[in-house]
Structure formats: structure tokens, C-alpha cells
């Protein structure tokens, strides 16, 4: 018959602790099973498959009843593994970062890994300090999100939207040319010819790649990019304000436009506010397209048409890739880049372009003729 664990009685000087955790040895004595068998089941080891399900259920029930908690620190010393990953992000805010993080977290939890998170706000000294911070905590790998790494660190490293990685670093990147084509083709199909654009901040790793994709697609479609219809996000506020201010600058330039393609959904929402304050209707006067498809995009008024960047999937891929590299030999070759494709989501913020005035049509024709020369 299994023996019950012996728990010391409480004393006045040492009050009784309820739910005090117990060791694997106590579980072994209680169940009459080997420590090795119990460890395999509780760690979800592949070797546990050879243990009958009835026995596995007994082990799990006893562990819950006796409040067993694994000693992860002791395990890491034995295995020389910390079961932790270091994650670098610019900031934690609605939209891009949180969606990528949700994918990273999901994948790491499946593998019983934890992560340390550092928000660097694009400050070079913070990125450098985080390297020492992660080393002190013996992390096994690094995931850098929208972060410029100037050198490869000595442990497996994966970036999300990095674009300028040192050799040996794997980058999870979006197909920005396809993303631009999806948005521009949609607007062109609705009859829009005067497109305004909001570029990302200069420090964002996606800004130049996305802008190159837009220029390529516009030229391919015989459409003109008007310099006065291009604004850039300024500042590092993770809010709607940069998009709002960029759109105010576009409107102040005096050039008319029938559609606006924003760098991300957060800036597109700010743009819609600026357009409405200027007495313009969305989408009847100006159609607006965002980028990312954040969770609130479908709940805007109107619902935001956007390029869906599979951010959660990209985060999961990053975590999966770094874990694979941790388990691989030091001499193993790794992919330099993993490209994922976007989707296009049509909602209520876009519609066919309004009929242009004759003068505007003549101006468009003149600009397009000049661009073909």
C-alpha cells in the first residue's frame, strides 16, 4: 500500500504552511513508483508514453493534491539549461509588438520555456546593456523584434522584421512587395489615382523595405507618387497621435488626394480623426488603408481595410526557430531569412473614388505622362 508523505507538525514558532510544495522523493514514496517514472510524466517527456495512462493519471492527481512544484533552478544546473529566452522589443503597446509577443509566449510555453523582456525604445545603449543582462541570467537564446542588431551574439538569435542582421542570425520577415501590391491594387481597382502615403518612423526596421515595395508597385501600375502626398511618422509615441499629425501635414500641403495608405493601423486610426476634423468623410471623400490588422481594426467606425500581417504567426515562428537552434549542434547551418506572406482584409474604410473635377483629371494626366517619359 502506498505510504503517505510525512509532513512535519506545525509548532508555535513555525506556523503551519498550507499547500507547502513537496519533492519528487515524497511523491515517489506516496505512489510507490520510481522517481524517474514520475519525472518523465511530470515533464511530459517522450519516454512517458511507455507508462500506462492509468499510472500517468495517478501521478498527475497526486502531484496536484500534494502541490508538487518542479525545482527549475536545480534542473537547469543539472542540464546546464536555464529554460529561458531573452526578448528585445522597442516598446510594449497596442498593435505590432503585443501581437508578436503573444505568438512568442504561446510557443515558448508549449516548450516549458520562460522569457525575459527588455523594452529599449530604440536606444542603442539599452540594446547593448540588454546583452549583458541576458548573459547574467544565462538565457539560451535571443529573439529581437523590430530591433537593429549590429553584431551577432554568442547564442542562437532570431529577429522579427530585422532586415540588417549579422551573419548567422535568422530573420522572420514579411513579403513587403506583396503587401504593397495588395493595397495599391485594391485602391487602383476602386478608381483611386491620387494616393497619399504615411511612411513609418526612420528608426523602424520595416520603413524602408515597405517603402521600396510601394515605389515598385506604383511604378509598375503607371501611378505617380506625389512628393507632397508623402508624410512620415515622427517621434516614438506608440499612440494614434503620430498618424494624426502626419495627416494634418498632408492636408496642410494643399494637394488633393482620394485615398491614404498608412504605415500601420494605429497611424491609420489617427489619420481618420484628422480627416474628419478637416470635414472629410471616410471613405466617401478619402479611402483609408491600414497595415497589421490589429485586434481593434475591425471595431473602428468605419471598420478598417488593412493589410493583415500575420504577427502572431511570426512570433510563433521566431520562438520555434530559436528553440530549434538551441537544440541543434554548434556547426549546424540555419536559414538566413524566413519570408511570410500577408493577406488583405477589406472592410468599410475604402470605397470607389469620387468623380474628379476636369481640372484634376488634366493634372493627373499631365503627371502620369511625365512619369512615363
* DSSP 8-state code for residue 193: -
The per-residue DSSP string of 220-262 comes to HTT----GGGEEE--S---SSHHHHHHHHHHHHTT---SEEE-
- Per-residue confidence band for 369, with pLDDT thresholds at 50, 70 and 90: very low
80-174+312-340: CATH architecture? 3-Layer(aba) Sandwich (3.40)
Same fold, 80-174+312-340 and 176-309+344-372: yes
Q: Please tell me the predicted confidence (pLDDT) of residue 87.
A: 94
Q: Is the pTM of this model over 0.85?
A: no
- Per-residue confidence band for 44, with pLDDT thresholds at 50, 70 and 90: low
Using alpha carbons, list the distances in angstroms from residue 174 to 12, 31, 107, 272, 338: 63, 52, 19, 26, 8
Residue 184 grid coordinates: 495599391
Q: Please tell me the predicted confidence (pLDDT) of residue 24.
A: 83
**Mean pLDDT value across residues 66-93:** 72
Q: What whole-number distance in Å separates Cα of residue 263 and Cα of residue 211?
A: 9
CATH number of 176-309+344-372: 3.40.50.2300
**Mean pLDDT value across residues 144-169:** 83
**Mean pLDDT value across residues 106-131:** 89
Q: What whole-number distance in Å separates Cα of residue 170 and Cα of residue 185?
A: 31
Check pLDDT > 90 for residue 220: yes
The per-residue DSSP string of 38-66 comes to HHHHHTT-GGGGGS-HHHHHHHHHHHHHT
Q: What whole-number distance in Å separates Cα of residue 260 and Cα of residue 281?
A: 13
Q: Please tell me the predicted confidence (pLDDT) of residue 331.
A: 64
Q: Please tell me the predicted confidence (pLDDT) of residue 292.
A: 94
Check pLDDT > 60 for residue 4: no
Coil/strand/helix, residue 3: coil
Lowest mean pLDDT among 178-192, 206-220, 347-361: 347-361
Q: What are 245-257's pLDDT values in tens digits?
A: 999 999 999 999 9
- Per-residue confidence band for 70, with pLDDT thresholds at 50, 70 and 90: low
Q: What are 192-209's pLDDT values in tens digits?
A: 999 999 999 988 888 999
Check pLDDT > 50 for residue 86: yes
- Per-residue confidence band for 74, with pLDDT thresholds at 50, 70 and 90: low
Residue 3 grid coordinates: 505510504
Coil/strand/helix, residue 156: coil
Instruction: Determine contact, residues 294/266, Cβ cutoff 8 Å.
Output: yes
Tell me the fold of 1-70.
434 Repressor (Amino-terminal Domain) (1.10.260)
Q: What percent of the chain has pLDDT over 90?
A: 53
**Mean pLDDT value across residues 327-349:** 86
Q: Strand 84-89 vs strand 170-174: parallel, antiparallel, or unpaired?
A: unpaired
Coil/strand/helix, residue 108: helix
**Mean pLDDT value across residues 263-279:** 97
- Per-residue confidence band for 80, with pLDDT thresholds at 50, 70 and 90: low
Q: Please tell me the predicted confidence (pLDDT) of residue 300.
A: 94
Give the residue, 292 or 364, on which the prediction is more confident: 292
Q: What percent of the chain has pLDDT over 70?
A: 83
Q: What are 163-194's pLDDT values in tens digits?
A: 676 778 899 999 999 999 999 999 999 999 99
Check pLDDT > 50 for residue 241: yes
Helix axes 35-42, 53-65, angle to 10 degrees: 90
- Per-residue confidence band for 75, with pLDDT thresholds at 50, 70 and 90: low
Residue 215 grid coordinates: 515605389
**Mean pLDDT value across residues 34-62:** 84
Check pLDDT > 70 for residue 58: yes
Lowest mean pLDDT among 66-70, 205-209, 318-322: 66-70
Structural domain boundaries in the chain: 1-70, 80-174+312-340, 176-309+344-372
- Per-residue confidence band for 322, with pLDDT thresholds at 50, 70 and 90: very high
Using alpha carbons, list the distances in angstroms from residue 370 to 196, 214, 227, 357: 19, 19, 14, 20
Amino acid at each position: 500500500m502506498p505510504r503517505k508523505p510525512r509532513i512535519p507538525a506545525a509548532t508555535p514558532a513555525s506556523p503551519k504552511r498550507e499547500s507547502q510544495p513537496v519533492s519528487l522523493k515524497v511523491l515517489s514514496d506516496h505512489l510507490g513508483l520510481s522517481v524517474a517514472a514520475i519525472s518523465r510524466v511530470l515533464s511530459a517527456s517522450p519516454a512517458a508514453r511507455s507508462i500506462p495512462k492509468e499510472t500517468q493519471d495517478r501521478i498527475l492527481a497526486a502531484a496536484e493534491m500534494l502541490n508538487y512544484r518542479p525545482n527549475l533552478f536545480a534542473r537547469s544546473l543539472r542540464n546546464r539549461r536555464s529554460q529561458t529566452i531573452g526578448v528585445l522589443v522597442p516598446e510594449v503597446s497596442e498593435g505590432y509588438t503585443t501581437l508578436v509577443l503573444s505568438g512568442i509566449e504561446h510557443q515558448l510555453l508549449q516548450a516549458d520555456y520562460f522569457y525575459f523582456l527588455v523594452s529599449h525604445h530604440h536606444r542603442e545603449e539599452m540594446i547593448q546593456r540588454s546583452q549583458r543582462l541576458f548573459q547574467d541570467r544565462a538565457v539560451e537564446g535571443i529573439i529581437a523584434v523590430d530591433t537593429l542588431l549590429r553584431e551577432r551574439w554568442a547564442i542562437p538569435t532570431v529577429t522579427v522584421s530585422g532586415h540588417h542582421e549579422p551573419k548567422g542570425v535568422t530573420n522572420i520577415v514579411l513579403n513587403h512587395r506583396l503587401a504593397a501590391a495588395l493595397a495599391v491594387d485594391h485602391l487602383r481597382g476602386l478608381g483611386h489615382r491620387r494616393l497619399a502615403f504615411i511612411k513609418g518612423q526612420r528608426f523602424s526596421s520595416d520603413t524602408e523595405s515597405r517603402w521600396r515595395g510601394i515605389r515598385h508597385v506604383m511604378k509598375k501600375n503607371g501611378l505617380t507618387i506625389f512628393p507632397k502626398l508623402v508624410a512620415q511618422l515622427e517621434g516614438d509615441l506608440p499612440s494614434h497621435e503620430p498618424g494624426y499629425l502626419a495627416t494634418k501635414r498632408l492636408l496642410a500641403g494643399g494637394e488633393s488626394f482620394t485615398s491614404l495608405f498608412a504605415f500601420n493601423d494605429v497611424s491609420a486610426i489617427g489619420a481618420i480623426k484628422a480627416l474628419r476634423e478637416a470635414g472629410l468623410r471616410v471613405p466617401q471623400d478619402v479611402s483609408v488603408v491600414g497595415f497589421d490588422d490589429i485586434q481593434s481594426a475591425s471595431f473602428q467606425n468605419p471598420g478598417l481595410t488593412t493589410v493583415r500581417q500575420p504577427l502572431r504567426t511570426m512570433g510563433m515562428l521566431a520562438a520555434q526557430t530559436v528553440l530549434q537552434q538551441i537544440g541543434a549542434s554548434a556547426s549546424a547551418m540555419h536559414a538566413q531569412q524566413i519570408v511570410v506572406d500577408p493577406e488583405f482584409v477589406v472592410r468599410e474604410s475604402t470605397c470607389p473614388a469620387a468623380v474628379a473635377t476636369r481640372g484634376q483629371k488634366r493634372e493627373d494626366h499631365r503627371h502620369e505622362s511625365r512619369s512615363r517619359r
